[in-house]
Amino acid sequence: MQTTTFAELGLSAKVLAAIEAAGYAAPTPIQAQAIPVAVTGRDVLGIAQTGTGKTASFVLPMITRLESGRARARMPRSLILAPTRELAAQCAQSFEKYGVNHKLDVALLIGGVSMDDQVRKLDRGVDVLIATPGRLLDHFQRGRIMLMGVEILVIDEADRMLDMGFIPDIEKICKLLPPRRQTLFFSATMPPEITRLVDQFLKDPARIEVARPATTAKTITQRFFYCDSTEDWAKREALRELLRTLDVRNAIIFCNRKKDVAILLKSLTKHGFNAGALHGDMDQMSRMATLDKFRSGEIALLAASDVAARGLDIPDVSHVINYDVPWQPDDYVHRIGRTGRAGREGFSATIVSPDDIKATDAIAKLIGEEPQWIGEAPDEAALAEGRSRRRRGRGGPSRGRSEPRVPARGGREPRRESGREPTRREATRRMAPVDRPELAPQPEFVDSAPEAGRRPVRRRETAPAGEALQADGRAHQQRRHERADRPSRAREEKRDRGGNEATPRAFGDHMPAFLRRPVRVSAD
């Protein structure tokens, strides 16, 4: 089969040169289908997710079309509406990348950052205005922009706009634009409200649908990791085990609740990992600063909530880890779409507790695959028990916190359910052997803060390999079980909860160097 080349898509020579400079060998499916239509001026309805190359599928034809004509004061020639500040900022970066050979004026209207420069640009006249809907209307109502010069409108991630309650704003904006314009409309899904919007504001669009990354992205290895406890500390431990075992270069770690993002960041930092966080309560400056550090590699792990991470374009994430199984299976697809982008290899790992069996079933149904487990899968009894649990909806009690087993503050925290022997699964659960023995599962260090008469002990010097893994796994689990009875666990968890014992844990060679951060422990 012959593959399409960028040269066949009707793009201008200057745009083709920029694509070559970006190092793209061939268009992605959405680009191959949308670009030839969009360059002719026809409307496009693109049903595609982030990670498919959709941004270039509208930015490249836009630049080509904007080559002729010029901007007039306060009258942008094209308008891109994006649901989040980050997505809007990333669109702006795409214009820098693909427009290197052009002199396009681009303005960005987003909340949270000073807009004086952008307003000055608008006053002079811009080719492209990228905005979040609320901010655009705000400026329009103050008389700072006129929208009757808009020749091309792009609506990106329309279903996210719907989630975020922006549809009335979108309708208002569409009514302010000239009817003779081109509209390029993108959405990952097509719920009825979005179909209605398309019917109302697009004219005879070419409908281009590319398969969801979850069903097509063979480049993403999806794995699930069963944590047989619903306790938060057990999940944090499972996460650390994953991080130490997988070949993680950088990872986004998703939580369902923003408050858990903060807790997780504190925990990861205190365990010596090089982490940052992104959650909805952060102001724009700190979000951008964290993102920049993550992009540059200064931060290797990013704990994030769905809303905060929406629309992020981080090209090179080696791993996505779901610390929580998302409540909505669609969110799973969005989350894992952050890795394995545009043909690169990616890996996602999802931590599943007994409370998450139903949500995991829903994900399996959506992706059309049975979960593949790292280590042992939950057995039939655990699955049946999990399926019979009452679902905890959004805003419901958080996992583990309603469980009677949670010890009183400062009390002893049981390692496993009180008083029983570890099950076979507990005794043998372990990670699949990995290529890098130095990252193979290792027993955790006991606290570096020595208890009276006890020195910090590292339990094993070298990682086991091959068959020894199995036998060692049982011993490892047994040791973990024994450690449950030590008061040190309570102290560790107190630190995790934000207690003031800020002694960093001693780590040895079992934490990859790139995940380490210089020891600076402050609860921020």
Interacting residues with ligand AMP (CB under 6 A):
24, 27-28, 31, 50-56, 313, 315, 341-342
Taking the C-alpha atoms of residue 21 and residue 274, their distance in angstroms, rounded to an integer, is 32
Minimum CB–partner distance for residue 213 and ligand AMP (Å): 9
**Which one, 313 or 444, has the nearer CB to ligand AMP?**
313
User: Which phi and psi angles does 180 have, rounded to 5°?
Assistant: -85, 85
Question: At which residue do the structure tokens 């640009």 appear?
Answer: 121
Minimum CB–partner distance for residue 188 and ligand AMP (Å): 10
Minimum CB–partner distance for residue 136 and ligand AMP (Å): 21
R_g (Cα) of the chain, nearest Å: 25
- How many CA within 13 A on the CB side of residue 111? 11
Minimum CB–partner distance for residue 409 and ligand AMP (Å): 44
Minimum CB–partner distance for residue 78 and ligand AMP (Å): 17
Minimum CB–partner distance for residue 1 and ligand AMP (Å): 17
**Which one, 313 or 413, has the nearer CB to ligand AMP?**
313
**Which one, 341 or 429, has the nearer CB to ligand AMP?**
341
Minimum CB–partner distance for residue 28 and ligand AMP (Å): 5
**Which one, 27 or 375, has the nearer CB to ligand AMP?**
27
Please answer whether residues 133 and 170 qualify as being in contact, where contact means their C-beta atoms are separated by less than 8 angstroms. yes
User: Which phi and psi angles does 59 have, rounded to 5°?
Assistant: -70, -40
182-187/128-131 β-pairing = unpaired
Q: Which amino acid is at 143?
A: G
**Which one, 122 or 130, has the nearer CB to ligand AMP?**
130
Taking the C-alpha atoms of residue 99 and residue 231, their distance in angstroms, rounded to an integer, is 50
**Which one, 49 or 322, has the nearer CB to ligand AMP?**
49
Q: Which amino acid is at 46?
A: G
Taking the C-alpha atoms of residue 489 and residue 60, their distance in angstroms, rounded to an integer, is 55
Query: Closest CB to ligand AMP belongs to which residue?
Result: 55
Q: Which of 211, 208, 183 is nearest to 197 (CA)?
A: 183
**Which one, 20 or 438, has the nearer CB to ligand AMP?**
20
User: Which phi and psi angles does 154 have, rounded to 5°?
Assistant: -120, 130
